[in-house]
Every structure is written in C-alpha cells, then in structure tokens.
Amino acid sequence: MKLFRDMAALEEAGRPFVLATVVAASGSTPGKPGAKLLVLEDGALRGTIGGGAIEKQIVDAALELLADPTTDVRTLETHLTHDLGMCCGGRMTVFLEKSQRAAEVVLFGAGHVAREVAAAAHRAGFRVTVVDAREEWLSAERFPDATRRLELPDDAARTLPASASTFCCVITHDHPLDQRCVEHLLTREWAYLGVIGSGRKAARFQQRLEAAGFTAEQRARVECPMGVDIGALTPAEIAVSIVARLIAVRRHAQR
C-alpha cells in the first residue's frame, strides 16, 4: 500500500508526521473505518479520511499534536452535524498517532566516557553521532551503533545544524577544546548542552564564557557538570548519570 511506503520513507528521512485513522463510524460519514490520512509538519497531506470539514478538523488537530512535545496520541469523536454542521449526520472516531524524528545525541569526543555514553544512549532510543579527529579512537569496534564523524570537534560544533531534538554532550580530551566547542554551540539553541567536568571546571567555564561576551541567559543553557548526581566514578557509572539526565530532558521531567 502506497501510504505505508510513504510512512516508511518519512520515518527513514526523519520527518515527523501524524497518522490519522478512522477507527469507528456510524450513520452517513465520508470516511469509513480503516481510512487513513498522513499529516506532515508543513501541512502536506497523504491519503484521506473523506475530506470536508471533518478532514480539516483532523488536520488542525494533527498539527497541534505535532507541536505538543508532551503528547503522542489523541482520539477525536465527532458528530458531523452537531459539531461541524455537515449534512451527513453520522459520527466518526479518529485516532491520531504522532511519529517523530528520534532525538539525537552528538558526542564531541570519543574517549572512554563517550564510548559508554554512546552505548547507553543507543539502548535508550537515541540516535548517536560521535565526533573526533583521532581515527584510532573513533572506530567501528568502539562505536558500533553510532554515526562516526572523523573531524575536529570544534569544527563540527561550529557547523552542526541547530535542532530542538539534538542533545549536545561535550566530552573531549582537552579543556580548551571543550571551551571552543561550547562557544560555537552556544550561538544556537539545542534540546540540551552539557559539558563533562567538575564544579571547579564549571566555574572556570562560566568565567571564560562571560569574558567572551556570552550573556547570563546563554551561559545558563550550559550544564556543567552534566548528568544526575549519583556519585558516579567509573566511565560506565558516569554514562548512566549522563543518559539519565538526557532522558529526563527528553521526557520533560524536572531535575
């Protein structure tokens, strides 16, 4: 069925959409159970549930669902005459389900902690990209489930396209390199921006960012130390604390 091929292509391309399905209908209705409609973020449509005012209602509801980060599904029950003024006279129940681009974690640095974070983030459902200029560290054996970008982390930080679904974690082997990455990343907004380090490192980062001209509002977007405070010591434990924080942000939980 072409609609399912369209859905697969949209998911592969990472394009969010809502699938609207008529799950029940009684009386005279333009759409029967099983009728499907895809609604894309730009309002483009694939398929139909019958057109008219009911389809417009569903499209509007689908666009609202796409814009709502807290909800993935919605059910609409509509009496076509009483609610929409249509002459059909029947009732339709339509189920809306959102498909979103998976959140991406970009790790700047491919060291021991990054390796553990990449594995844990992948298991938690994030797409993972790792950036490092050291080919021997950025290997398929060390990062089997991640997209690998062999380049300088600060270059990647300067050119990475901004996205509200991208989580940036700066974990390089060099503090000045961490600083350059953060300064590049702070010119755009992300779902999350964190830097590995101690409280002392965090204070120095804030001082240097202020000296570089970043506002208090911009500096507040950087989390350092990043992660949930669980007393982590080993790379695996640190990764658990970091990924737990990423999940909390993704689920809109309070720290």
pTM here is 0.71
Give the β-pairing of 147-150 and 127-132: parallel
User: What is the overall mean pLDDT for the chain?
Assistant: 87
pLDDT at residue 68 in the model: 82
Looking at residue 255, its pLDDT comes to 44
For 176, the enclosing helix (H) or strand (E) is helix 175-185
> Which tokens in the block code for residue 37?
């409609």
- pLDDT, residue 179, reads 92
d(CA 114, CA 248): 19
**Statement: residue 254 has pLDDT above 50:** no
| pLDDT score, position 123 | 93
Q: What is the per-residue pLDDT for 86? A: 57
Identify the band that residue 115 occupies on the pLDDT scale cut at 50, 70 and 90. very high
Give dist(CA 141, CA 144) in Å, integer: 6
Q: What is the pLDDT of residues 161-185, one digit of tens each?
A: 988 889 999 999 988 999 999 999 9
Give the chain's domains with CATH numbers: 2-99 (no CATH), 104-250 (3.40.50.720)
Dump pLDDT digits (tens) for 191-216: 999 999 888 888 888 899 889 888 89
Banded pLDDT at 82 (limits 50, 70, 90): low
Count of C-beta atoms within a 10 Å radius of residue 107: 28
**CA dihedral over 27, 28, 29, 32, signed as positive or negative:** positive
Q: Which amino acid is at 226?
A: M
pLDDT tens, position by position, 11-64: 777 788 899 888 887 777 767 888 888 898 888 888 888 777 778 888 888 899
Instruction: List CB contacts of 100: < 8 A, sequence separation 6 or more.
Output: 16, 72, 165
Please answer whether residues 159 and 98 qualify as being in contact, where contact means their C-beta atoms are separated by less than 8 angstroms: no
